[in-house]
């Protein structure tokens, strides 16, 4: 079912296959960009390597400087970047589809804040130290925050205005951040451990921790792709979706589960990277049109590219130091948000 809905679906609505050609070209372009981004991520940093040196280092896997650099530093963060990027991108596409809100993003809606708050609790009260331990707290926090924001949206029967939902998320994030900051301030040890965590970095997670989280992200991704067709129907409105035979309630619940897995897992790995889930679906729709099957598949790839490139940019700009990827995406993404609302008509879905 998964493969059928993701890859081979023929375009139902477009004439003469122009959109299908555009989609295919776009897919080639994104895969090429992904390759370039991975190479850049392996090569660039405080100590840049030539592509040849990267290749020898990869092949050798020994004690040589290039090999150690590639295997212990660059590969782990590249893997985290790919996984977390895809997770936040798809989570953003899902949230936008579920809430039919062009301004939705796991960061803006407070889902990342929920996960972050739960992790602060875990570190401050239960002495958790590894990403493996973070992940469960992050899931619970993300799930509760998603449910809460979603309940606010659902209580209006799906007719909630984009701004109300955004504000609910902002209020939630403010409360959670306030309490989280307090917990950090009364305990300098928690403060030291977490003050870098919430910024959104893909550099601090060990590969072993990443493998632990990866199954959850994969599960969320598969679930999102399976749901894509039903989401297309939901986009037409609840009544029409029901008459097309889609179980709206089940789609919503499973959608929330997928968002929780993706945003919670991504936050556990990185501390939360904002605005990726906002920007990527908008960029991607330009190629794909409104079909969620394509939007979700494209978003996964494009968001991974974006996160890797943002991370590389953060490494290059502030040499010999680094700027965390979450800061780069916020600096790039907030103007995108402002641009979206400055357009005469907020982008519809």
Partner 1 sequence: MSEGAAGGAIDFGRTTRTVRSRRFSARVPVRIVAVSGGLVALAVVLGVVALGVGEYPVSPTEVVRAVTGGGEAFVRTVVLEWRLPIVLAAIVLGAALGIGGAIFQSLTRNPLGSPDVIGFDAGSYTAVVVAILALGARDYWTLAGAAALGGIATAVVVYLLSFRDGVQGFRLIIVGIGVSAMLGSVNSYLVTRADVGDAMAVGFWGAGSLSRVTWESMLPALAAFAGICVVSALLAPSLQRLELGDDLAVTHGTRVGAARLALIVVGVAATALVTAAAGPLGFVALVAPQLARRLTHSPGVSLLSAAAMGAALLMSAQLLTLVVAELYRTIPVGLITVCLGGTYLIWLLVRESRRHERTS
For the stretch 312-315, contacts whose Cβ atoms lie closer than 8 Å and that sit 24 or more positions apart, written own/partner, are 312/37, 312/40, 312/41, 312/44, 315/44, 315/45, 315/46
> Least separation, in Å, of the C-beta of 327 and partner 1?
4
Instruction: Return d(Cα 222, Cα 124) in angstroms, integer.
Output: 34
Contact 126, 151 (CB under 8 A): no
Instruction: Return d(Cα 317, Cα 72) in angstroms, integer.
Output: 22
Contact 53, 188 (CB under 8 A): no
Of 66, 143, 199, 276, the one binding partner 1 by CB under 8 A: 199
> Is 326 one of the binding residues for partner 1 (CB under 8 A)?
yes
Nearer to partner 1, 43 or 165 (CB): 165
Contact 337, 123 (CB under 8 A): no
Of 31, 36, 186, 249, the one binding partner 1 by CB under 8 A: 186
> Is 32 one of the binding residues for partner 1 (CB under 8 A)?
no
Q: Determine the Cα angle at 12 with ends 6 and 16, to 5°.
A: 115
Instruction: Return d(Cα 243, Cα 241) in angstroms, integer.
Output: 5
Of 35, 171, 236, 249, the one binding partner 1 by CB under 8 A: 171
DSSP H helical segments within the chain, as ranges?
2-6, 18-43, 51-60, 65-68, 75-99, 111-126, 131-154, 162-185, 188-194, 207-234, 238-243, 248-270, 276-288, 292-317, 325-342
Of 46, 47, 50, 164, the one binding partner 1 by CB under 8 A: 164
Of 1, 12, 13, 188, the one binding partner 1 by CB under 8 A: 188
> Is 159 one of the binding residues for partner 1 (CB under 8 A)?
yes
> Least separation, in Å, of the C-beta of 180 and partner 1?
10
Binding mask 256-275 for partner 1 (x = CB under 8 A): ------------------xx
Of 9, 68, 331, 349, the one binding partner 1 by CB under 8 A: 331
DSSP state of 158: T
> Is 184 one of the binding residues for partner 1 (CB under 8 A)?
yes
> Is 28 one of the binding residues for partner 1 (CB under 8 A)?
no
Give contact residues for partner 1 (rule: CB under 8 A). Answer: 103, 108, 148, 151-153, 155-157, 159-160, 163-164, 166-168, 170-172, 174-175, 178-179, 181-182, 184-186, 188, 191-192, 195-196, 198-199, 274-275, 321, 323-324, 326-327, 330-331, 333-335, 337-338, 341-342
């Amino acid at each position: 079912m998964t493969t059928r809905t993701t890859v081979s679906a023929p375009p139902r609505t477009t004439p003469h296959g122009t959109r299908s050609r555009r989609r295919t070209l776009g897919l080639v372009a994104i895969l090429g960009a992904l390759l370039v981004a991975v190479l850049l991520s392996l090569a660039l940093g405080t100590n840049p390597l030539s592509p040849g040196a990267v290749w020898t280092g990869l092949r050798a896997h020994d004690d040589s400087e290039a090999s150690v650099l590639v295997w212990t530093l660059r590969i782990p963060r590249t893997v985290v970047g790919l996984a977390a990027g895809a997770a936040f991108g798809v989570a953003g596409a899902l949230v936008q589809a579920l809430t039919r809100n062009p301004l939705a993003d796991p960061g803006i809606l407070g889902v990342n804040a929920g996960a972050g708050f739960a992790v602060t609790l875990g570190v401050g009260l239960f002495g958790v130290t590894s990403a493996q331990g973070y992940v469960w707290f992050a899931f619970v926090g993300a799930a509760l925050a998603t449910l809460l924001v979603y309940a606010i949206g659902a209580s209006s029967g799906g007719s909630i205005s984009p701004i109300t939902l955004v504000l609910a998320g902002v209020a939630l994030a403010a409360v959670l951040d306030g309490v989280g900051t307090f917990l950090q301030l009364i305990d300098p040890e928690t403060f030291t451990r977490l003050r870098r965590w919430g910024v959104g970095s893909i550099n601090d997670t060990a590969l072993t921790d990443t493998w632990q989280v990866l199954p959850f992200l994969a599960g969320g991704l598969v679930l999102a792709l399976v749901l894509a067709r039903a989401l297309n129907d939901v986009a037409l409105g609840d009544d029409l979706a029901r008459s097309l035979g889609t179980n709206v309630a089940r789609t919503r619940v499973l959608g929330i589960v997928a968002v929780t897995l993706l945003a919670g897992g991504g936050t556990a790995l990185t501390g939360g990277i904002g605005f990726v889930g906002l920007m990527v679906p908008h960029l991607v729709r330009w190629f794909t049109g409104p079909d969620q099957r394509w939007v979700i598949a494209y978003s996964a790839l494009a968001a991974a590219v974006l996160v890797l490139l943002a991370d590389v940019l953060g490494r290059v700009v502030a040499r010999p130091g680094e700027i965390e990827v979450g800061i780069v995406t916020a600096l790039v993404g907030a103007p995108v948000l402002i641009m979206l609302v400055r357009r005469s008509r907020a982008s519809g879905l």
